[in-house]
Amino acid sequence: MIGHGFMGRAHSNAFRQVGYFFDLPYELKLKVICGRNADAVQKFASKWGWEEAQTDWQKVVMRKDIDVVNIGAPNHLHAPIAIAAAEAGKIVFCEKPLATNLTEAKRMAGAARKLPNLVWFNYRRVPAIALAKRLIEEGRIGKPYHYRATYLQSWGPDPKRIGIWRFRKSDAGSGAMGDLLSHALDLALLLNGPITELSGMLQTFMPDREVDDAVLLLARFANGSVGTFESTRFATGCRNRNVLEVHGSEGAIRFNLEDLNRLKVFSSSDSAEMQGSHNVLVTSPEHPYVSHYWPPGHIVGWEHTFISTLADFIACLEKGEPFHANFDDALEVQRLMDAVEKSAQSKRWISVTPGS
């Protein structure tokens, strides 16, 4: 695994835990963890149970005793590592956003496509979001009219973060857009299908900052519904508020990551005196993923979304079925972000053709 920072912990935890919660047909061995600082990466390796620590990713991706290369490094390293690993015949896992720009993303998807691959759009495996997908597919909210997503954080003005890679365009590609909007767009494509046209704006509040601090957009979906999206690192009071709402002809759903185990579901078919949002606690064995973890009513957390992602990947690998979200799915998110940039620059609506 390359990158032992914040996501290094989330991924290491998933690799270690997946075998406890899901029946795996084989054992996962944590072979090599890679980072820049030899001491820090050695400590990390000992703590999380990796066999070896390394500081040069190029020496790791070619090794014959490694089957999967997992990338949790800053965004500008996703493309070179993923392409080198894919060309060495490895299964590649990569963090979001897939790349720093659309050209890189296309090259990555092309290289990785010959083997199963994974992008850590982990919110797909929140049980409440997986339930929302099921309800939408069953037609419970009818024909979708409105899709509304806000992904809001507040750490953008923090003076302690000045100088980090996330604010450099060469390292990050973009700011709130790649970091937060990418998640919101992936969920929109999952729950509501392709976006055909969008109008976006990007805003940088801090002087000398190279990337967007906030991004907003209007979108039209292929299914005839319309969407609004807002992502920012300047939403004072919101630490990690990832909210989505879908309003359809027969009902509505609402999810807020701050209340991860709940899905609010409104059904127009309820009798008039009972109409209101059902506050569904998504912790029953009948709900997605829950039966693998705790007894009914015992909640799960953010870390479980990574464990469930990995478990689904392994299940797909065993069955020979395609896994999602993969590099091609993440390429569609990158295509939309590219369109947002073009729209923001030109102040015009931009048409988007999936797979183009």
Ligand X SMILES: NC(=O)c1ccc[n+]([C@@H]2O[C@H](COP(=O)([O-])OP(=O)(O)OC[C@H]3O[C@@H](n4cnc5c(N)ncnc54)[C@H](O)[C@@H]3O)[C@@H](O)[C@H]2O)c1
* C-beta closer to ligand X: residue 95 or 329: 95
Among 12, 18, 35, 152, binds ligand X (CB under 6 A): 35
Beta bridge partners of 228: 148, 218
CA 67, 173, 14: angle at the middle one, nearest 5?
35
* C-beta closer to ligand X: residue 81 or 195: 81
Report if residue 5 touches ligand X, rule: CB under 6 A: yes
**Tokens describing residue 185:** 């767009």
Report if residue 120 touches ligand X, rule: CB under 6 A: yes
Q: How many residues bind ligand X (CB under 6 A)?
A: 21
Least Å from the CB of residue 128 to ligand X = 16
Report if residue 95 touches ligand X, rule: CB under 6 A: yes
Contacts of 81 (CB under 8 A, 6+ apart): 2, 57, 61, 69, 71, 73
Residue 19 burial class via C-beta count within 10 angstroms: exposed 0-12, middle 13-18, buried 19 and up: middle
**Tokens describing residue 250:** 């027969």
Among 34, 187, 216, 310, binds ligand X (CB under 6 A): 34
Beta bridge partners of 254: 245, 264
Report if residue 96 touches ligand X, rule: CB under 6 A: yes
246-285 residues in contact with ligand X (CB under 6 A) are none
Report if residue 43 touches ligand X, rule: CB under 6 A: no
Least Å from the CB of residue 278 to ligand X = 28
* C-beta closer to ligand X: residue 124 or 292: 124
Q: Which stretch binds ligand X (CB under 6 A): 74-82, 138-146, 206-214, 291-299?
A: 74-82
The helix-helix angle for 302-319 and 6-21 (nearest 10°) equals 60
Report the C-alpha gap between 123 and 260 in whole angstroms: 10
Report if residue 136 touches ligand X, rule: CB under 6 A: no
276-335 residues in contact with ligand X (CB under 6 A) are none
Contacts of 311 (CB under 8 A, 6+ apart): 18, 21, 22, 292
Report if residue 72 touches ligand X, rule: CB under 6 A: yes
Q: What is the per-residue DSSP string for 49-65? A: T-SEEES-HHHHHT-TT
Least Å from the CB of residue 251 to ligand X = 29
Report the C-alpha gap between 171 and 343 in whole angstroms: 22
Report the C-alpha gap between 290 and 87 in whole angstroms: 37
Contacts of 273 (CB under 8 A, 6+ apart): none
Report if residue 59 touches ligand X, rule: CB under 6 A: no
* C-beta closer to ligand X: residue 6 or 294: 6
Considering only CA atoms, which of 159, 207, 205, 155 is closest in space to residue 179?
155
* C-beta closer to ligand X: residue 179 or 341: 179
Residue nearest to ligand X (CB): 5
Among 12, 42, 70, 122, binds ligand X (CB under 6 A): 122
Least Å from the CB of residue 282 to ligand X = 19
Among 6, 20, 205, 294, binds ligand X (CB under 6 A): 6
Among 2, 181, 211, 263, binds ligand X (CB under 6 A): 2
Report the C-alpha gap between 27 and 208 in whole angstroms: 48
Beta bridge partners of 199: 218
Residue whose entry in the numeric block shows the structure tokens 């659309």: 102
**Tokens describing residue 253:** 């759903």
* C-beta closer to ligand X: residue 73 or 135: 73
Is there a contact between 122 and 306 (Cβ–Cβ < 8 Å)? Answer: yes
154-183 residues in contact with ligand X (CB under 6 A) are 179
Q: Which stretch binds ligand X (CB under 6 A): 34-42, 209-217, 253-261, 271-279?
A: 34-42
Residues that bind ligand X (CB under 6 A): 2-8, 34-36, 57, 72-75, 77, 95-96, 120, 122, 179
